[in-house]
Structure 1
Amino acid sequence: MRKLKVVILPTSLRTWLDATAQNIDTTSDNAAALLPKLAEAGLFRLGVPAVLGGHGGHVNDAIAGVAAVSEHSLAAGFVFWGQRTFIEYLLQSPNEALRDRLLPDVLAGRRAGATGLSNAMKFLAGIEGLQIKSTKTDGSLRVDGELPWVTNLRASGFDVAAAIQADGNNPAFVASLSSEDIGLERSGDLDLMAMRATSTAAVKINNVRIGVDRILHHNASEWLPKVRPAFLGLQCAMAIGLAHRSIAETTSRLKKGRDILREPSEALTNALVEAETQLQEGLCSKSFERSPEKLFELRIGFAAMAAKAVQIELSATGGRAYLTQPGEGFQRRLREVAFIPIITPSLVQLKSALDARQQPQLISEIA
């Protein structure tokens, strides 16, 4: 079995996350501080080639980083996912000039990078149409539409990747839009139950003009399958980190009549490690580009394991979990695990995509 990637966070960051996790979850007070804190620890440089300002390695290193952060705060892990996914788009884009212009500030946390491609991933899976359209005009592109839910739209400035339907018979493409674009409007932060410091908002795009120099790739259907494994793999990391934290909390309480929980906790740990190994090996071999179904199944499985880990933690904690102060961490993790299934593409959408892919095969087998 391949040795799993593990990232040890700096003590200063772990301490800050533990001290502010509740605040990050329930208020927007630390929204401005969160991105720079992650950047100071060098986390956005994980899996980025050294020649481009990174620490080298593979996207699996970034996944291990998101998991490590998510053990302390899923809201922080969610912001990390958005920033690092945008970085991955820049790394995999053939537009080197755009990459070279945007990457330094995004790696350093001076600028937020957001992935508005959740709609595009659903488009790729045949779940819904694209929500942004474009027309050619005066040597530029006019872009109109909306992104109803995007994370890491930092108020001080952001770039957001979006899939855009081209006019005529031209293929959809992926471009980077900017908070400074005239006609691009960010809503106020969405009134979420939790994840309040994640700078999650909607974007309206009205007559925004961009040049072809802002295009990340000219053919979305060709490019998205190549970036989807990192997109979903980094999402999986959030569930992985949360599951590991709940298992650790359970382990610390296996006494006073609760030792009966040791066996299910250890079984869950083994299943989690096996699934992590499959994720890392699939990303290294690029098999998920050819067979995304396995990645969909892993994403669904990680969500289920995180939910089970939190429930075992509840059994290990007992009634203290419902007391405001001693149960604060558990109550946050309960909210966090409720959020994982609805991160786009949601578990329902992934299961629907799997079902749609299986139908032709079933028909063929019956015939």
Structure 2
Amino acid sequence: MQDCAFRHWLDANAEAIDRGLCEPQQVLAQIAESQLLRVGVDPAVGGTGGQVTNAVEAIAAIASRSLAAAFVCWGQRAFIEYLLHSPNQPLRERLLPRLLTGELAGATGLSNAMKFLSGIEALQVRGRPAADGWHLEGRLHWVTNLRKSGFVVAAAIEDEAGGAPFVLAIPSDAQGLERSDDLQLMGLQSSNTAALAFHQVPLARDWLLHENAREFLPRVRPAFLALQCGMAIGLARRALEEVQAHLHGRASFLDEARQVLSERLENTVSELKQGLLEGRFQQQPAALFKLRITLAECAADAVQLELQASGGKAYLSEYGEGFARRWRESAFVPIVTPSLVQLRAELQRQAGAA
């Protein structure tokens, strides 16, 4: 992360962001100002170039200082990725500039859809065809980056007429769309995470991201999951840096463990990047699931190692505030959708079907 001002802002506000004491609107504004949302986006549409692997590293850099801020960045950047893959060019031209500047918040409401794709869960929003679009009914129970000043959320919709499920972008000012109060989380509280209820929401066809969710979701799933992996990567790297700082260069079994874990982490990151650049995760999602599981385990192991390296100091409020936050953050990594339990269940199902 090259933006020194943004690094300093994250360091100064990480605890406040985690505890909900930071105005959520500021989080996305600061991320956008750092230009990190433009990483991995073609300069022809307002980006700074590079690949989606560069965007993974951008999220990892944020997560090393604040997982809550990285969570917000993931939601925004994932929605941007959906637009980049959508055949709806007018919609992309209308929304993308405001998403890149942070003027508009983008929410990736496709967690339910990704579970649907693996046969884990039914779609939670239904669409009844109308003259120029649909009327939507249903609920999304957990969505991040629902900024109160305005957002657009992606959702996969079950077609009540019996057609293929499709994917929509739904603006916050749509009639009948109800946002709950922010969910009371154990951490990550300044992330504008809430539930959405759809009460016969009318939406025109020009908000269509893709007419077939079963085609679109496998295409965007590699980026959806890889960008999510950036959170685990950044957290693990920061915890390992803290281990090294606590050891003060002393040779010990803890330092050996740190080196082994660091090597495992970076080898997994390299595999993730290679698979993304080769495009093989579209046809081999199980390989991506396994990497996501490994990275989550690396984050948990790294934070545990940080605890051992810092000893009782970690339990003192004066010294252990950053560690306590990372401990809470590491508890979130395995449960963010798709959770490790869901991924392992899907891998087991695939193995049984083989």
User: Is the Cα–Cα contact under 8 Å of residues 41 and 51 in structure 2 kept in the other structure?
Assistant: yes
Q: What corresponds to 1:293 in structure 2?
A: 286
Query: Cα offset for 1:211?
Result: 1.1
SS of 2:47's partner is coil
The partner residue of 2:123 within 130, 140, 147 is 130
Instruction: Return the alpha-carbon distance in structure 1 between the equivalents of residues 248 and 71 of structure 2.
Output: 33
Segments of structure 1 that go 5 or more residues without pairing to the other structure are 1-7, 362-367
Query: Cα offset for 1:325?
Result: 1.6
Are 1:83 and 2:76 an aligned pair? Answer: yes
Instruction: Return the alpha-carbon distance in structure 1 between the equivalents of residues 343 and 66 of structure 2.
Output: 25
Instruction: Return the alpha-carbon distance in structure 1 between the equivalents of residues 310 and 292 of structure 2.
Output: 27
SS of 2:141's partner is strand
Give the partner amino acid of 1:146.
Answer: R
Instruction: Return the alpha-carbon distance in structure 1 between the equivalents of residues 132 and 89 of structure 2.
Output: 21
Q: What corresponds to 1:5 in structure 2?
A: none
Q: What corresponds to 1:217 in structure 2?
A: 210
Are 1:229 and 2:222 an aligned pair? Answer: yes
SS of 1:310's partner is helix
Instruction: Return the alpha-carbon distance in structure 2 between the equivalents of residues 51 and 196 of structure 1.
Output: 35
Segments of structure 2 that go 5 or more residues without pairing to the other structure are none
The partner residue of 2:144 within 136, 141, 151 is 151
Are 1:360 and 2:350 an aligned pair? Answer: no
Give the partner amino acid of 1:350.
Answer: L
Superposed, 1:118-267 pairs within 5 Å as 118-255=111-248, 259-267=252-260
Instruction: Return the alpha-carbon distance in structure 1 between the equivalents of residues 250 and 159 of structure 2.
Output: 63
Give the partner amino acid of 2:82.
Answer: Y
Are 1:319 and 2:312 an aligned pair? Answer: yes
The partner residue of 1:342 within 330, 335, 346 is 335
The partner residue of 1:51 within 36, 44, 53 is 44
Question: Given the two structures, how large is their TM-score scaled by the length of structure 2?
Answer: 0.98
Instruction: Return the alpha-carbon distance in structure 2 between the equivalents of residues 249 and 256 of structure 1.
Output: 12
Query: Cα offset for 1:137?
Result: 1.9
Give the partner amino acid of 1:329.
Answer: G
Instruction: Return the alpha-carbon distance in structure 1 between the equivalents of residues 316 and 30 of structure 2.
Output: 30
Instruction: Return the alpha-carbon distance in structure 2 between the equivalents of residues 137 and 42 of structure 1.
Output: 40
User: Is the Cα–Cα contact under 8 Å of residues 258 and 316 in structure 1 kept in the other structure?
Assistant: no
User: Is the Cα–Cα contact under 8 Å of residues 129 and 161 in structure 2 kept in the other structure?
Assistant: no
Query: Cα offset for 1:101?
Result: 0.2
Query: Cα offset for 1:140?
Result: 2.5
Instruction: Return the alpha-carbon distance in structure 1 between the equivalents of residues 85 and 294 of structure 2.
Output: 27
1:295-349 Cα offsets, whole Å, 9 max, x none, are 0001111010000000110011000100012100000000000010110111111
Q: What corresponds to 2:103 in structure 1?
A: 110
1:33-58 Cα offsets, whole Å, 9 max, x none, are 00010000101000010000000111
Are 1:27 and 2:23 an aligned pair? Answer: no
Instruction: Return the alpha-carbon distance in structure 2 between the equivalents of residues 279 and 109 of structure 1.
Output: 28
User: Is the Cα–Cα contact under 8 Å of residues 53 and 273 in structure 2 kept in the other structure?
Assistant: yes
SS of 1:126's partner is coil
Count of residues paired in the alignment: 354
Instruction: Return the alpha-carbon distance in structure 2 between the equivalents of residues 138 and 126 of structure 1.
Output: 31
Instruction: Return the alpha-carbon distance in structure 1 between the equivalents of residues 91 and 188 of structure 2.
Output: 30
Identity level (%): 49
RMSD of Structure 2 on Structure 1 (CA): 1.0
Q: What corresponds to 1:42 in structure 2?
A: 35
Query: Cα offset for 1:258?
Result: 7.1
User: Is the Cα–Cα contact under 8 Å of residues 13 and 22 in structure 2 kept in the other structure?
Assistant: no
Instruction: Return the alpha-carbon distance in structure 1 between the equivalents of residues 71 and 251 of structure 2.
Output: 33
User: Is the Cα–Cα contact under 8 Å of residues 120 and 162 in structure 1 kept in the other structure?
Assistant: yes
Instruction: Return the alpha-carbon distance in structure 2 between the equivalents of residues 54 and 62 of structure 1.
Output: 11
Instruction: Return the alpha-carbon distance in structure 2 between the equivalents of residues 42 and 195 of structure 1.
Output: 22
SS of 1:135's partner is strand
Instruction: Return the alpha-carbon distance in structure 2 between the equivalents of residues 351 and 35 of structure 1.
Output: 32
Runs of 4+ in 1 over 6 A off after TM superposition: none
User: Is the Cα–Cα contact under 8 Å of residues 9 and 68 in structure 1 kept in the other structure?
Assistant: no
Give the partner amino acid of 1:172.
Answer: P
Query: Cα offset for 1:138?
Result: 2.6
1:131-157 Cα offsets, whole Å, 9 max, x none, are 000111233211111100000000110
Question: Given the two structures, how large is their TM-score scaled by the length of structure 1?
Answer: 0.95
Instruction: Return the alpha-carbon distance in structure 2 between the equivalents of residues 141 and 221 of structure 1.
Output: 19
- When residues 123 and 320 of structure 1 are mapped into structure 2, their CA distance, relative to the original with a 3 A threshold, is same
